[in-house]
């Protein structure tokens, strides 16, 4: 069962139905239009003063025809160290991927979960790499980290409020 979150289209327009129904309709529409799609789910966060903002995105990429995405913004005042924050990002992405994986599997649509974690040990986020990779792959999902994790490091990054 989907946890209630406020999802919007990229332009900020709220979706008018539960996320599962919206994604199902989008998949059906894309299939009817003859588009091959791949789904990427990712989350990014930014700390501003005593608040941490999170943006989770579901990115639809049409083969050779661009794409679109859905966004969920959340905010917390909970203090977290870098590893806790990276794993919270991963948990948010996994939660969405798990809620929707039956739709993607049922229509044979490939999906990846992207983590905004750097693969280079020179970066602080790297402390969470092994745990994030184990969590995501342990749930049965394909995993990508920076620099290949565009859903989290580019798309979600631009949507954090």
pLDDT tens-digit series, residues 33-51: 999 999 999 999 999 999 9
Measured between alpha carbons, how far is 142 from 32 in angstroms, rounded to an integer?
26
Measured between alpha carbons, how far is 146 from 153 in angstroms, rounded to an integer?
7
**pTM of structure:** 0.94
Which residues is 58 bridged to in the sheet?
41, 70
Report the pLDDT value the prediction gives residue 114, as an integer from 0 to 100. Answer: 97
Report the pLDDT value the prediction gives residue 161, as an integer from 0 to 100. Answer: 87
Report the pLDDT value the prediction gives residue 5, as an integer from 0 to 100. Answer: 76
pLDDT at 2 over 60: no
Burial grade of 90 (CB within 10 A; 0-12, 13-18, 19 or more): buried
Burial grade of 133 (CB within 10 A; 0-12, 13-18, 19 or more): middle
Mean pLDDT of the chain: 94
Average pLDDT over residues 122-128: 94
Residue 3: pLDDT band by 50, 70, 90 thresholds? very low
For tokens 């799609």, name the residue: 37
Q: Which of 125, 143, 144 is nearest to 47 (CA)?
A: 125
For tokens 């929707």, name the residue: 100
Average pLDDT over residues 114-142: 95
pLDDT in tens, 67-123: 999 999 999 999 999 999 999 999 999 999 999 999 999 999 999 999 999 999 999
Close Cβ partners of 85 (under 8 Å, ≥ 6 residues apart): 45, 47, 52
Q: Domain residues of the chain, as ranges? A: 11-159
Task: Using alpha carbons only, give the angle 134, 1, 24 rounded to the nearest 5 degrees.
Answer: 90
* Strand (E) or helix (H) holding 130: helix 129-138
Residue 4: pLDDT band by 50, 70, 90 thresholds? low
Q: Which of 138, 127, 136 is nearest to 42 (CA)?
A: 136
Structure tokens at 160: 């954090």
């Amino acid at each position: 069962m989907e946890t209630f979150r406020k999802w919007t289209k990229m332009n900020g327009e709220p979706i008018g139905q539960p996320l599962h129904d919206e994604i199902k309709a989008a998949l059906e529409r894309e299939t009817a239009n003859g588009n091959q799609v791949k789904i990427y789910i990712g989350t990014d966060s930014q700390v501003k003063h005593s608040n941490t903002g999170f943006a989770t995105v579901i990115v639809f990429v049409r083969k050779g025809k661009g794409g679109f995405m859905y966004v969920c913004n959340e905010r917390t005042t909970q203090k977290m160290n870098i590893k806790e924050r990276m794993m919270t990002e991963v948990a948010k992405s996994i939660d969405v991927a798990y809620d929707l994986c039956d739709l993607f599997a049922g229509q044979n649509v490939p999906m990846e979960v992207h983590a905004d974690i750097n693969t280079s040990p020179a970066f602080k986020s790297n402390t969470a790499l092994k745990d994030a990779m184990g969590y995501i792959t342990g749930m049965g999902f394909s995993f990508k980290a920076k620099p290949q994790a565009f859903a989290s490091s580019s798309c979600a990054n631009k949507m954090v409020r």
